[in-house]
C-alpha cells in the first residue's frame, strides 16, 4: 500500500472518531452510518470480505454435502412454513394499525389543541379527559393486535411482525403527542406579550415521521437532495441475503441442537453446559448478521428511500467496556426514545435521581422484550425480565465506568453467553410443556406443582 493510501486511511479513522465524539441525543444532522465510513478503510473492509468468504464456504459445504448424499439440493423450508403463515391476517392487522395511527392520532391531537380554549379548573378537566382518551387509545393499540394474534394462533414470525410494528407505532405516537404537548406548555408559560401564534404540525410531516427511521418526532429533519437508487437496492438486497443466511444457520446449526431437548428424557448439568456452549458460535453469527441486516441495511435502505440524512442508527458497541455504554450504542434509535421520554421525565419526577431513572429504563425495556416473547410464544416465562432486568441492572452498576482492554474482553465474552443462555431456557420451557409428565415448567417449579402448567395464552 502506498503512503498516500495510508494517510487516507488514517484521516478516515480520525473523522469517524470525531463524528462519534460529538453526537448528542436527540440531535439530527446529516451524517453517514458508522460502518459506511469504516468500510472506506481497506483494513476494515477486509474483515467484511472475510465474513463473506466464510459464509460462501458454509453454503458451499451444505450444497456439496447434499449433492454427495442425495444427488440433489436438499434445502428444506419446513421451518419457514411452520414459523411464517397467515400473512393475509398480518397484512390486515398492520394496515388497520397504520391507518389508525396515521389518522386517529393526528386528528385527535389536532382536536385537543384546537379546542383548548378553557381556563382554570375547566382547562385542567378538559386536559384530563383527553389524557384518558389518549391512555385508552394506547391500551387498545396494545390489546387488540395481541388479541388477534392469540385468536388466529399466528405463527411466531408472523406474530413478531405485528408486535414489532405495534411497539414501533406506540413509541412514535408518544413522541408525536409529547412533542406537541411540549409546544403547548411552552406557549402557556409565556406572557401575553411574548406569546406567538401556535402552528400545529402538518399531516405530511407526521406521515413522513411514521415511516422515517427514527422514534423522535421533529417537524423537519435533515434531508438529502436525491435518492440514490443503487444504494436502496444494495441495502435491501443485502438484507434479503442476510435473512437467507440467518435461516440457514438456524436450520443447520441451532435446530439439531434443539432436537436434543425432545430426544433426551433427562436434562442433566452436563447436558446443559454442553448445549449452551454448542449454541454460542451459531448464536454470535446470528447476532452479527441480525445487527448488520437490520441496523445497517434495513434502516439505511429506508433512510435513503426517504432521503433521511441522519444515518447514525448505532455506534461502536464492539469497542465499549461497560454495560451502560453497550446498550446505549447497540440501538441508538430506541435508546434516544428511552432517554428523552423515560429517563429525563423520571429524573424530573424523582428530583434528579439518576440511579432510579436508569433502573426504571432497564426494567421497562426488559418488560417490553418479555411482552414480545409472551405474545409470540403463547406462554409466560420471565426469562428476559430476569436476565436483562436483574443482570442488566447489576452489570450497569457493577461496571458503570469501566475502562481498558480487559473490560472489553469481559463484555465481548458476555455477549455469546447471553445469546446462548436465553434460547436454551426458552426451548427448555417449550420442551417441559411438550413432556409435562417428565419435566416441570417454570410455574410448576415456582409453586411446587406436579401438574401441567396452565399459564398459557
Active-site positions read: 369
Q: Which residue bears the cell 406569546?
A: 195
Within 153-202, residue ranges assigned H as helices are: 156-188
The radius of gyration of the chain's CA atoms, rounded to the nearest angstrom, is 25
If we measure between CA atoms, which residue out of 366, 374, 346, 378 comes closest to residue 418? 366
Q: How far are the Cα atoms of 27, 167, 223, 245, 399 from residue 205, in angstroms, in the given order?
A: 18, 21, 13, 37, 41
Contacts 24+ apart (CB under 8 A), 396-405: 396/323, 396/324, 396/358, 396/359, 396/362, 397/355, 398/323, 399/321, 399/322, 399/323, 399/324, 400/322, 400/324, 401/322, 402/321, 402/322, 403/321, 404/321
Nearest to residue 218, comparing CAs of 206, 236, 235?
206
Of the candidates 221, 415, 199, the residue with the CA atom closest to the CA atom of residue 311:
221
Return the ∠ at Cα 109 (arms to 350 and 357), rounded to 5°.
15
Q: Give the cell for residue 127.
A: 386536559
Residue tagged 388477534 (cell numbers): 148
Amino acid at each position: 500500500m502506498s503512503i498516500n493510501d495510508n494517510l487516507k486511511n488514517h484521516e478516515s479513522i480520525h473523522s469517524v472518531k470525531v463524528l462519534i465524539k460529538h453526537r448528542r441525543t436527540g440531535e439530527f444532522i446529516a451524517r453517514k452510518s458508522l460502518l459506511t465510513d469504516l468500510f472506506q478503510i481497506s483494513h476494515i473492509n477486509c474483515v467484511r470480505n472475510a465474513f463473506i468468504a466464510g459464509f460462501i464456504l458454509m453454503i458451499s459445504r451444505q450444497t456439496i454435502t447434499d449433492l454427495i448424499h442425495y444427488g440433489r439440493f436438499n434445502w428444506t423450508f419446513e421451518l419457514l412454513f411452520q414459523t411464517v403463515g397467515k400473512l393475509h391476517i398480518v397484512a390486515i392487522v398492520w394496515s388497520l394499525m397504520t391507518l389508525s395511527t396515521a389518522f386517529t392520532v393526528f386528528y385527535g391531537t389536532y382536536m385537543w389543541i384546537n379546542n383548548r380554549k378553557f381556563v382554570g379548573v375547566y382547562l385542567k378537566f378538559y386536559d384530563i379527559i383527553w389524557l384518558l382518551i389518549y391512555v385508552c387509545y394506547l391500551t387498545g393499540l396494545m390489546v387488540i393486535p395481541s388479541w388477534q394474534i392469540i385468536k388466529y394462533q399466528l405463527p411466531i414470525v408472523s406474530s413478531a411482525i405485528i408486535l414489532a410494528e405495534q411497539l414501533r407505532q406506540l413509541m412514535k405516537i408518544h413522541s408525536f403527542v409529547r412533542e406537541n404537548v411540549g409546544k403547548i406548555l411552552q406557549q402557556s408559560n409565556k406572557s401575553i406579550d411574548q406569546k406567538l401564534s401556535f402552528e400545529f404540525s402538518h399531516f405530511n410531516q407526521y406521515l413522513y415521521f411514521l415511516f422515517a427511521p427514527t422514534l423522535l418526532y421533529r417537524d423537519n429533519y435533515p434531508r438529502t437532495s436525491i435518492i440514490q437508487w443503487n444504494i436502496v437496492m444494495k441495502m435491501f438486497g443485502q438484507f434479503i441475503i442476510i435473512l437467507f443466511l440467518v435461516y440457514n444457520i438456524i436450520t443447520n446449526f441451532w435446530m439439531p441442537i434443539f432436537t436434543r431437548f425432545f430426544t433426551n428424557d433427562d436434562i442433566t448439568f452436563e447436558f446443559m453446559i454442553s448445549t449452551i456452549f454448542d449454541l454460542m458460535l451459531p448464536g454470535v453469527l446470528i447476532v452479527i448478521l441480525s445487527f448488520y441486516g437490520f441496523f445497517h441495511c434495513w434502516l439505511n435502505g429506508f433512510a435513503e428511500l426517504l432521503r433521511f440524512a441522519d444515518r447514525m442508527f448505532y455506534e461502536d458497541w464492539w469497542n465499549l467496556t461497560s454495560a451502560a455504554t453497550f446498550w446505549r450504542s447497540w440501538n441508538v434509535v430506541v435508546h434516544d426514545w428511552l432517554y428523552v421520554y423515560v429517563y429525563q421525565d423520571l429524573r424530573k419526577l424523582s428530583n434528579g435521581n439518576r440511579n432510579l431513572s436508569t433502573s426504571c429504563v432497564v426494567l421497562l425495556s426488559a418488560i417490553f422484550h418479555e411482552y414480545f416473547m409472551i405474545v409470540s410464544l403463547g406462554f409466560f416465562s420471565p426469562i428476559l425480565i430476569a436476565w436483562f432486568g436483574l443482570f442488566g441492572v447489576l452489570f450497569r452498576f457493577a461496571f458503570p465506568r469501566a475502562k481498558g482492554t480487559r473490560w472489553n474482553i469481559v463484555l465481548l465474552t458476555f455477549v455469546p453467553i447471553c445469546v446462548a443462555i436465553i434460547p436454551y431456557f426458552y426451548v427448555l420451557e417449550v420442551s417441559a410443556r411438550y413432556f409435562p409428565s417428565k419435566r416441570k415448567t417454570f410455574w410448576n417449579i415456582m409453586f411446587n406443582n406436579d401438574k401441567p402448567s396452565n399459564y398459557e395464552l
